[in-house]
Structure 1
Amino acid sequence: MTQQLILDLLLPSAPSLDNFVVGENGQALDALRNWETGHAIYLWGPPGSGRTHLLRATASGLNGLYHGPTDSPAILKDIATGDYLQHRLIAIDNVELLDADGQAALFALYNRWREVAATRHSFALILAGDRAPMAMPLREDLRTRLGWDLVFRLELLSDQDRAEVLKARAGERGLQLSPEVISWILTHYARDMSRLSELVDSLDSYSLEKRRAITLPLLKDFLASSQT
């Protein structure tokens, strides 16, 4: 088992808007905090920019629905054509992966969203993909709809931002991480800050168990113990 795989096995904290590390994405975060029914938000950016984190966090509220790439497009079709709308917010992730049926279902959902936007049955659409609306590998009429309302590009955190967050997370637990440890983590770990925070928590517990400070040898010992 590789070190990267061991690190990936650490369970992340539940995504929320509060534990999303903003970086240069303040406008997108503000829009998600203040979403309104009858409006749509489209987020796009590279892997690791926080798209799924933000969609899951936003949909976790009252009457929200998260639809991921492995979920059936029939779910969206049923919402678009059903008599009763039970969700006030529908978040649809990885739009670029939708097949023909999924695209048809999303097109119907957009039409339903527009039809009820000014009524008491209105709902919000939050969508995410890996590229700008007009560059999406989707049918033309659907690409156009992705850009109908608010569109935000999500930027990756810089290594400096991630290093500062690691230091702050460690400081909250009364820990000090050496530059050597931080550099190793940034080199070997994913960019998802919730996963980085979980790693700091796990290292804290391990260092308490071993009664040793968090150093690079301790980190490597922790990885070795995770293999057993």
Structure 2
Amino acid sequence: MNDQLRLTLGVRDRASFDNFITAAADDDNAAAREHLRRLRGVAGAPAVYLWGPAGSGRTHLLQAVCQAAGERQQAAVCLSMRGEPGLPPQALEGMERLGIVCIDDLDAILGERRWERALATLCAGVQALGGGLVVSAGVPPAALVAAAPALGERFAAAHVFELRPADAALRRAMLLARAERRGLRLPETVAAHLLDSCGHDLRRLFATLDALERSLLASPRKPGLALLRRLLRETPAS
């Protein structure tokens, strides 16, 4: 990776705490959701560190934090550290003044020293100014400290939540709930094929659903397997 990285600054309008589905009301994912629901960005509040494998809901929760902040008229930003080249590390300068800063896939920049330093400076600034800081990674905090001590030490006192990936039943519930919110009625054969094809890859699952919605809006018809297979070929895995 070079010195530039795509920083996703927007917030998906469909990611909220209310539509973050968990396997049980009292599991670890639900505990993380309820903790973040109360986040306001106040002086002295510890950072929040979410970690877990792909498909565990890390990105959804960070987007939900920013969505909730926007509803309160509080300035917030969600930065994705994974993706194609975009902005340089200097683009982070000044973001510490925002009320809430969320950083997704923090471990994607490990080994990139300029990015590690820039993010360590941003995190220190957010905490110094009393803002809310929420990050996600695919590794636990100890691994972050070992790989990038200056960055990892920013989360020594963080609230840490290990998120669990969705099982088959929960992935199905998530897919059908999201489709229903969009007014889509997926035939059983279409839903089953979509779930089988995407497996644990929730990003691909929902990206394919997005593409299906756009295709049906452009040319109203019943969602069928032929259309779905074409969209799956056009939607790469995460």
Scaled by the length of structure 1, what TM-score is found? 0.69
1:16 maps to 2:15:
yes
Name stretches of at least 5 consecutive residues in structure 1 with no aligned partner: 1-12, 117-121
Q: Are the counterparts in 2 of residues 95 and 128 from structure 1 also a CA contact under 8 Å? A: yes
Q: Are the counterparts in 1 of residues 194 and 228 from structure 2 also a CA contact under 8 Å? A: no
Q: How does 1:167-182 map to 2 (within 5 A)?
A: 167-168=176-177, 173=183, 175=185, 177-178=187-188, 180-182=189-191
- Secondary structure of the residue aligned to 2:202 is coil
Q: Distance in 1 between matches of 2:231 and 2:50?
A: 39
Aligned CA RMSD, in angstroms, stands at 3.5
Q: Distance in 2 between matches of 1:170 and 1:56?
A: 19
- 1:179-199 CA-partner distances (Å, limit 9, x unpaired): x43331111123246446546
Q: How does 1:145-184 map to 2 (within 5 A)?
A: 145-168=154-177, 173=183, 175=185, 177-178=187-188, 180-184=189-193
User: 1:28 maps to which residue?
Assistant: 32
Which has the larger Rg? 1
Offset at residue 44 of structure 1 (A): 1.0
Q: Are the counterparts in 1 of residues 104 and 137 from structure 2 also a CA contact under 8 Å? A: yes
Q: How does 1:138-217 map to 2 (within 5 A)?
A: 138-168=147-177, 173=183, 175=185, 177-178=187-188, 180-189=189-198, 190-192=201-203, 194-195=206-207, 198=210, 201=213, 209-210=220-221
User: 1:103 maps to which residue?
Assistant: 116
Q: Are the counterparts in 2 of residues 42 and 147 from structure 1 also a CA contact under 8 Å? A: no
Q: Are the counterparts in 2 of residues 134 and 144 from structure 1 also a CA contact under 8 Å? A: no
Offset at residue 123 of structure 1 (A): 0.7
- Secondary structure of the residue aligned to 1:187 is helix
Q: Which of the pair has the greater relative contact order for Cα pairs under 8 Å at 6+ separation?
A: 1
Q: Are the counterparts in 1 of residues 116 and 148 from structure 2 also a CA contact under 8 Å? A: yes
User: 2:77 maps to which residue?
Assistant: 65
Q: Distance in 1 between matches of 2:213 and 2:124?
A: 45
Matching residue's letter, 1:106: L
User: 1:41 maps to which residue?
Assistant: 48
User: 1:51 maps to which residue?
Assistant: 58
Matching residue's letter, 2:38: N
Using a 3 Å threshold, how does the CA distance of structure 1 residues 150 and 52 change in structure 2: closer, same or farther? same
Q: Distance in 2 between matches of 1:74 and 1:134?
A: 27
User: 1:8 maps to which residue?
Assistant: none
Deviates more, 1:152-161 or 1:168-177: 168-177
- Secondary structure of the residue aligned to 1:65 is strand
Q: Are the counterparts in 2 of residues 65 and 89 from structure 1 also a CA contact under 8 Å? A: yes
Scaled by the length of structure 2, what TM-score is found? 0.67
Q: Distance in 2 between matches of 1:132 and 1:196?
A: 30
Q: Distance in 2 between matches of 1:176 and 1:226?
A: 15
Identical residues among aligned pairs (%): 24
- Secondary structure of the residue aligned to 1:135 is helix
User: 2:128 maps to which residue?
Assistant: 115
Offset at residue 34 of structure 1 (A): 1.2
Using a 3 Å threshold, how does the CA distance of structure 1 residues 55 and 71 change in structure 2: closer, same or farther? farther
Name stretches of at least 5 consecutive residues in structure 2 with no aligned partner: 1-11, 234-238
Deviates more, 1:154-163 or 1:218-227: 218-227
